[in-house]
Chains A and B, each alone.
Chain A
Amino acid sequence: AQSVTQLDSQVPVFEEAPVELRCNYSSSVSVYLFWYVQYPNQGLQLLLKYLSGSTLVKGINGFEAEFNKSQTSFHLRKPSVHISDTAEYFCAVTLPSNAGGTSYGKLTFGQGTILTVHP
């Protein structure tokens, strides 16, 4: 089974400062990795994903994440945050389609990190 741990439940930061939201995962097989954002009273929106290839992936709203297989991490970064980035962020994993069984497509989420950007 796969699991995801988000190391910080809350991250406060000032506007225009850089931010890193940490995510570690556990899996005995290769996985796909994702970051989602959830604004208040809204559904989840995909920020970025890692399926294969370059370990540095870029997403929407200026976010990027780096896949580190040896450290089983997939940390999310943004060099300069805005007030509008205030939201909850979720890291998630799923098995590739060739993993077989019924687990394909099932997203396993971390507990979430609340990012609060202060003026």
Chain B
Amino acid sequence: EAGVVQSPRYKIIEKKQPVAFWCNPISGHNTLYWYLQNLGQGPELLIRYENEEAVDDSQLPKDRFSAERLKGVDSTLKIQPAELGDSAVYLCASSSNLGQVYNEQFFGPGTRLTVL
């Protein structure tokens, strides 16, 4: 079974440029998460989707960040315009929703963004 796929793995851009990250979750997983991981820190949740609905986007900086999951499968996270402080690793995770006590989140390898 393929894991969570993210692309690109690495991205270098100049500040004020736009950038987009793509995530394809594990097949059948209807919950998708985007996390931000700054250097030397643990991941922080940006947004969580249940199918195509964003059910928790309270930590997403909406002035420059946007996300979509139009068909409830793959997702795109966008930053426009990028700032120096956006340099970080952007992680995508997915989980099933089988009504269990806890549904494990499976993480992708992340996209490392460097803003110059």
Interface residues of A (CB under 8 A from B): 4, 9, 32, 36, 41-46, 49, 51-52, 90, 92, 94, 96-97, 102-103, 105-107, 109-112
- Which of chain A's residues have a CB closer than 8 A to the CB of B67? none
Q: How many A-B residue pairs have CB under 8 A?
A: 62
Stretch in B11-19, B42-50, B79-87 touching the partner: B42-50
Q: Are A112 and B40 in contact (CB under 8 A)?
A: yes
CA separation between A94 and B105, bound complex, in Å?
A: 11
The 6 closest A-B pairs by CB, nearest first: A109-B42, A43-B107, A102-B56, A44-B107, A43-B109, A106-B45
With A43-B4, A43-B107, A105-B31 as given contacts, are A51 and B102 in contact (CB-CB < 8 Å)? Answer: yes
Q: Are A110 and B42 in contact (CB under 8 A)?
A: yes
How many B residues are at the interface, by size bracket? 20 to 34
Q: Are B102 and A43 in contact (CB under 8 A)?
A: no
Contact check: which of A52, A107, A110 meets B105 at CB < 8 Å? Answer: A107
In the complex, what's the smallest C-beta–C-beta distance from B87 to chain A, in angstroms?
Answer: 16
In the complex, what's the smallest C-beta–C-beta distance from A60 to chain B, in angstroms?
Answer: 13
- Which of chain A's residues have a CB closer than 8 A to the CB of B56? 102-103, 106
CA separation between A96 and B31, bound complex, in Å?
A: 16
CA separation between A105 and B110, bound complex, in Å?
A: 19
With A105-B31, A109-B42 as given contacts, are A32 and B102 in contact (CB-CB < 8 Å)? Answer: yes
B103 at the interface (CB under 8 A from A): yes
